[in-house]
Structure 1
Amino acid sequence: MSSEIPDDPPEGFKLVDFARGRPEPTFNTHVGNMYVKRGEKGTRDEFVLAIRVQQNMCNPAGGLHGGMMMTVADLVGTMGGGYLAGLRKFLPTVSMTFDFVAPARVGDWVEGRAELIRQTRTLLFTNIYLTVGEQKILRASSIAKISSGDGTGYTKT
């Protein structure tokens, strides 16, 4: 019997298709369903990446595993930061730091938002926050590489 609970994303969130028709799965296709919402430019909801915490995402103490929190934060920093900067290509992470502030539990809806700090010709700097409701559960700082040329593009959610 599966203990998975329905994701039941709030209105406006769409499932991210990490497979995008690729013949072989990537890491992102294995971590669980993620959802994205794009709001009005310049608002805190301009780009939101979210998950519903499932049991298989948790540590033995019942909290969302730190590795899962870091994975979500990494994607928020690169996908969200890139979106805020107007970049529509793959941005590899160069460096990240994490502060674990509070736990999330099975059934919690976790949202991630990026704040664009600085963009140079070759680097993108972001701060990332994961929240459950208004409670911050993780703060991260990220630096991503902006590749020259077009790189691998993002065309779908």
Structure 2
Amino acid sequence: MLNSGDLAPQFALPDAKMDMIQLTDFLDKKIVVLYFFNGDKTPGGILEAIEFSDRVAAFAKYGAVILGVSRDDCMAHESFSDEHGLEFDLLSDTEGEVSALYHAQHQWEAKGVVRYGIDRSTFVIDQSGIIRHAFYHVTPKGHAAEILELVKQLG
């Protein structure tokens, strides 16, 4: 698991428009709220995305950008984002490589088949690339508001 004070793992992932987004794009400029979620069409994924989207302007006021990551592909993210009017980028981690770097991926076996999923997790990364807050096993309802309060303290 990653903890407060750890250097955030670097990543480069495509967004819904297939543009590559990298952590280094934000270093020395923005606080990054990087959250991992199970999937676009899941109840928790919808709730969490809408709660973050509703607070984009408030996060921006404190110099923060929100990035959501799941294993859904870019086209699924584009559809999901359009359907819910999301105001931030969703990144596609179809191979689960970045999820694994952040220890946000878990695996289980069902009927002899190994499956992979995402453990809902959120990381607040400061402008120097240091993780200031790390949360695993996140409950979606109210989480965006909690993270906003932490970001306010950094700003």
User: What's the TM-score bracket when you normalise by the shorter of the two chains?
Assistant: under 0.3
Q: Which structure would you say has the larger Rg? A: 1
**Higher helix proportion (structure 1 or 2):** 2
Q: Which has the higher contact order (CA 8 A, sep 6+)?
A: 2
TM-score by length of 1: 0.25
Taking structure 2 as the reference length, the TM-score comes to 0.25
